């Protein structure tokens, strides 16, 4: 008993300091946890969203319903919880959706039902209990011809409309408009070279998001669903053939808008091409569809299709110009005989100070704004 008593006393003496040493741990853990939100609230400059963009000032000028801020229609161009494909708004999308809904799916269902019926019939009718003497048939020419020909015919029936669809996808009509789309970690930038418009597009964060900075505009329902709304939409004219030239400047992204049946990989160093003829005005949402890093899920795409007149208004608001028209001189001091002939040459001649070179880390509203800032 005395030995046991000593053992207990030693154990207590040994454990007490340990307990004392671990006692502060919870409080230190708590303090670390408590400090975490404040750390998250001010992300490092390199990861900050919309660096330098005066979103708060922009918020005051945002008028829902105006061009670039059209109010989305629930169920149009966005997921609404139903099963199946989104309603399509391009000829390619309609053809593909019809092929899927009215040809592939019924075919799959019919084949599945036939196979199930054959399986159940074989299990019941040809079970051992009902056939004490096994059949000695080894082959049947008629059945063998049927089960070879029928699958071939099924594949041909799928291949013909499938190849026709591919042909339509890869033989686009002449483009009315070209948009260069560049994926970045983690936002998109758009360039309409014929109109002199270049801008970046970032996801709008929720008002309650602790990582949202004070100068960032918060998402509202007029912007679109959570995780899909952006600060600068890509505005395009409906009823025109739009060619998208898709690339990336860091890792592989994918430019995908389900309502247009568009999903095009954006690879660094490569230019890929896709196109859309948007049938009707509306707001259409998409997302990056290639795992591209930690914030892959936070680089949505918003295309606002509108009338040609409102599109021209948007181009003007972005500081752009009509196709073929000379862009506004970025700096009066740069005007020279050379600059009148070629604005790009003038920018180069002035040492690049007024050259509208895109800055990937900045949310440039447009070429004119950047020129103004450089003054």
3-state secondary structure of 184: strand
Give the residue with the Cβ less far from Cu ion, 219 or 253: 253
Give the residue with the Cβ less far from Cu ion, 288 or 301: 288
Shortest approach of Cu ion to residue 299 CB, angstroms? 5
Under a CB-based contact definition with an 8 Å cutoff, are residues 346 and 177 in contact?
Answer: no
Under a CB-based contact definition with an 8 Å cutoff, are residues 173 and 92 in contact?
Answer: no
368: alpha, beta or left, given left = phi > 0 and alpha = psi -120 to 50? alpha
CA dist list (Å): 272 to 77, 248, 268, 288: 23, 10, 10, 15
Shortest approach of Cu ion to residue 271 CB, angstroms? 17
Structure tokens at 300: 């949505």
Give the residue with the Cβ less far from Cu ion, 301 or 334: 301
Count of C-beta atoms within a 10 Å radius of residue 222? 14
Give, for 245, the enclosing helix (H) or strand (E).
strand 241-248
Give the residue with the Cβ less far from Cu ion, 165 or 227: 227
Edge-to-edge strands, sheet with 253-257: 234-237, 300-306, 282-288, 253-257, 262-266
**Phi, psi (degrees; rounded to nearest 5) at 275:** -155, 165
Under a CB-based contact definition with an 8 Å cutoff, are residues 260 and 276 in contact?
Answer: yes
Under a CB-based contact definition with an 8 Å cutoff, are residues 204 and 217 in contact?
Answer: yes
Q: Can you tell me the distance from the alpha carbon of 75 to that of 167, in angstroms, rounded to the nearest whole number? A: 30
Shortest approach of Cu ion to residue 73 CB, angstroms? 26
Shortest approach of Cu ion to residue 262 CB, angstroms? 15
Shortest approach of Cu ion to residue 161 CB, angstroms? 32
Q: Can you tell me the distance from the alpha carbon of 229 to that of 218, in angstroms, rounded to the nearest whole number? A: 10
Shortest approach of Cu ion to residue 183 CB, angstroms? 5
Shortest approach of Cu ion to residue 233 CB, angstroms? 18
Residues that bind Cu ion (CB under 5 A): 253, 288, 292
Give the residue with the Cβ less far from Cu ion, 37 or 293: 293
Give the residue with the Cβ less far from Cu ion, 187 or 199: 187
CA dist list (Å): 61 to 64, 316, 365: 10, 16, 14
Shortest approach of Cu ion to residue 230 CB, angstroms? 14
Give the residue with the Cβ less far from Cu ion, 292 or 371: 292
Give the residue with the Cβ less far from Cu ion, 67 or 292: 292
């Amino acid at each position: 008993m005395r030995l046991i008593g000593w053992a207990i006393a030693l154990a207590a003496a040994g454990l007490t300091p340990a307990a004392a040493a671990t006692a502060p741990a919870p409080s230190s853990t708590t303090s670390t946890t408590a400090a975490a939100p404040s750390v998250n609230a001010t992300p490092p400059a390199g990861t900050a969203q919309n660096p330098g963009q005066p979103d708060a000032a922009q918020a005051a000028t945002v008028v829902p319903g105006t061009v670039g801020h059209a109010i989305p229609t629930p169920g149009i161009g966005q997921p609404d919880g139903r099963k199946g494909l989104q309603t399509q708004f391009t000829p390619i999308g309609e053809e593909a959706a019809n092929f899927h809904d009215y040809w592939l799916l019924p075919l799959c269902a019919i084949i599945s039902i036939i196979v199930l019926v054959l399986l159940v019939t074989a299990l019941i009718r040809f079970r051992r209990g009902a056939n004490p003497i096994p059949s000695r048939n080894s082959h049947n020419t008629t059945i063998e011809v049927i089960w070879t020909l029928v699958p071939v015919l099924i594949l041909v029936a799928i291949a013909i409309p499938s190849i026709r669809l591919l042909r339509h996808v890869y033989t686009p009509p002449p483009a009315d408009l070209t948009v260069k789309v560049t994926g970045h970690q983690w936002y998109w930038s758009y360039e309409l070279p014929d109109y002199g418009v270049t801008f970046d597009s970032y996801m709008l964060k929720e008002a309650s998001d602790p990582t949202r900075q004070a100068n960032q505009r918060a998402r509202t329902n007029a912007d679109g669903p959570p995780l899909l709304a952006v600060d600068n939409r890509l505005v395009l004219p409906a009823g025109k053939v739009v060619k998208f030239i898709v690339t990336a400047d860091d890792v592989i992204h994918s430019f995908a808008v389900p309502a247009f049946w568009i999903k095009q990989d954006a690879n660094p160093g490569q230019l890929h091409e896709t196109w859309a003829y948007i049938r009707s005005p509306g707001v259409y949402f998409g997302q990056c569809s290639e795992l591209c890093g930690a914030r892959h899920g936070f680089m949505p795409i918003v295309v606002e299709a509108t009338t040609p007149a409102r599109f021209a208004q948007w181009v003007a608001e972005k500081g752009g110009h009509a196709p073929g028209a000379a862009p506004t001189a970025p700096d009066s001091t740069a005007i020279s005989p050379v600059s009148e002939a070629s604005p790009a040459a003038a920018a180069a001649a002035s040492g690049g100070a007024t050259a509208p070179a895109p800055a990937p880390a900045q949310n440039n509203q447009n070429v004119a704004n950047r020129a103004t800032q450089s003054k």
